[in-house]
Amino acid sequence: MHLDRILHQRRHKWKVGFWLAAILLIGCGLFSLSVGEIWLKPWQPFGELEKQLLWQLRMPRLVAAMAIGAALAASGAVLQVLLGNPLAEPGVLGISGGASLALVLLLFLLPSLPGPWLTMLVAMAGALVFTLLLVGLARIRKVSTARLLLIGVALGILSGAVVTWAFYFSDDLNLRQLMYWLMGSVAGVTWAQLSVLIILFPALIWLCTRGRQLDILMLGEIHARQLGLDVAALRWRLILIIALLVGTSVAMAGVIGFIGLVIPHLLRLALGAENRYLLPLSACFGALLLAVSDVLARVLLPAAELPVGVVTTTLGAPVFIWMLLRSQVE
C-alpha cells in the first residue's frame, strides 16, 4: 500500500510537469508570434503586412525553435544514459561541432547554397562520425566518463578551429555570413528548410518512446540482456537517431549548446530519473527553453538581434559549472 502511494505521487508529479510544459509552450508560442519591431495584437485585425510577417517570418521561426529545442533536449537525455555520463550533451561532446564541420566542408565543395535535404544529410554524417567515435571510445577503450567528456570537448574545439580557419581563408561572402549562423540562429528559417521536419518529427517521437528500454539499460547490460533487451541493436538505433536529430538541428540553426545538458539534468533533480517520462518531458521543456531564448535574443538589444546560441550558452554555462562542482563534491 505504501509503495502504491509512492508510485502514485511520482506519476502525479510527472503529470503536473506535462501540464505545466503544455501551458508554458502555448503562452510562449503566442508571445513569440506577437513580439518584435512590429507588435502583432491578436485582438486587432491583421493587414497584408502583418499576415506576411506572421506566416513567412515568425511562424517558421517558432516551429524551428521548438522542434530543434525538443530534438536537442531528448538527444541529450539519451546520450547521458548511453554514455553513462550526466554531463553528456551534443554541444559539449562535440557532436554538434562535427555536424557544423561537415557543413563547412560541403560549402567549400559546393559554393552555391545547397538544398535543405543535402544539408541535413551532410550534417547528419558529421554528427554520426563524432557520435560513433565517442561511443567507440567509451566501449572499446573503456574510457572513464570524465575523460570521455574531455575528449568530447577537445573534438568540439578542434572542429571549431577548423571552421575558423575555413572562414579566415575564404573569400566567399556566403561562407563568411555563415559565421553568424553557426553561432546559433533560427532567424530566416523558411518553410522550405522546415520540410526536413518530415524526418525529424518521426525520429523524435521514436526516440521519446524508448524510455522503458533505457530504464532497463540503466540496470546494466548483463541484467538488460537477461530481461530480453537486444542491447547492441538498441545502441546502434539510438546512435543513428541522435545523429539524425543533431545533424538536422545544426543544418537548420547552427550550433546551439547546453539545452541537452540543462533540461534533462534539472528534470531528473525535480521529478526523478524514469526515462519513459523524462524523454518526452525533456523534449517539451527543450522546445520551451529554445523558444524563450529566441524571444530574448530578439528583445534584449533594441537595435540588433543576438544569436540564440549565445543566449542558451549564457543560460547554460553557469548550470554546467554548478554540475561540475556538484559532481566533484559528491
Q: How far apart are CA 235 and CA 193, in angstroms?
A: 29
State the residue for C-alpha cell 546520450. 79
The angle subtended at Cα 134 by Cα 144 and Cα 262, nearest 5°, is 80
What CATH number should be reported for the domain holding residue 53? 1.10.3470.10
| pLDDT value of residue 158 | 84
Q: Which residue type does 164 have?
A: T
pLDDT tens string, the chain, 330 residues long: the values are 566 677 777 888 899 999 999 999 999 999 999 887 777 877 677 778 888 888 888 999 999 999 999 999 999 999 888 887 777 888 777 888 888 888 888 877 776 666 778 887 888 888 888 888 877 777 776 666 667 777 777 888 888 888 778 777 766 655 655 666 678 888 888 898 898 899 999 999 999 999 999 999 888 888 888 888 888 889 888 888 988 898 889 888 888 888 998 899 889 888 888 999 999 999 999 999 999 999 999 888 877 788 898 899 888 888 878 877 776 545
Contact 286, 72 (CB under 8 A): yes
Cβ–Cβ < 8 Å for 48, 109:
no
pLDDT, position 329? 47
Residue 51 sits in which domain range?
2-329
Residue 231, classified by CB atoms within 10 Å of its CB into exposed (0-12), middle (13-18) or buried (19+), is middle
Nearest to 246 by CA among 136, 102, 147: 102
Contact 107/172 with Cβ under 8 angstroms? yes
Helix 308-329, helix 275-299: angle, nearest 10 = 130
Angle at CA 185, nearest 5°, toward 181 and 189? 95
Tell me whether residue 90 is exposed, middle or buried, using C-beta atoms within 10 angstroms of its C-beta: 0 to 12, 13 to 18, 19 or more: buried
For 150-170, give one letter per residue: b (16+ CB within 10 A) or e: ebbbebbeebbeebeebbeeb
- Using CA atoms, how far apart are residues 281 and 17, in angstroms rounded to an integer? 7
pTM exceeding 0.85: yes
Question: Is residue 188 left, alpha or beta, with left meaning phi > 0 and alpha meaning psi from -120 to 50?
Answer: left
Q: Per the structure block, which three cell numbers stand in for 106?
A: 560541403
Q: Of the candidates 79, 238, 54, which has an alpha carbon nearest to the alpha carbon of residue 145? A: 79
The runs of H, that is alpha helices, within the chain are 2-34, 48-52, 59-82, 95-109, 116-140, 145-169, 173-182, 197-208, 211-217, 221-226, 231-253, 259-271, 275-299, 308-329
| Number of folded domains that form the chain | 1
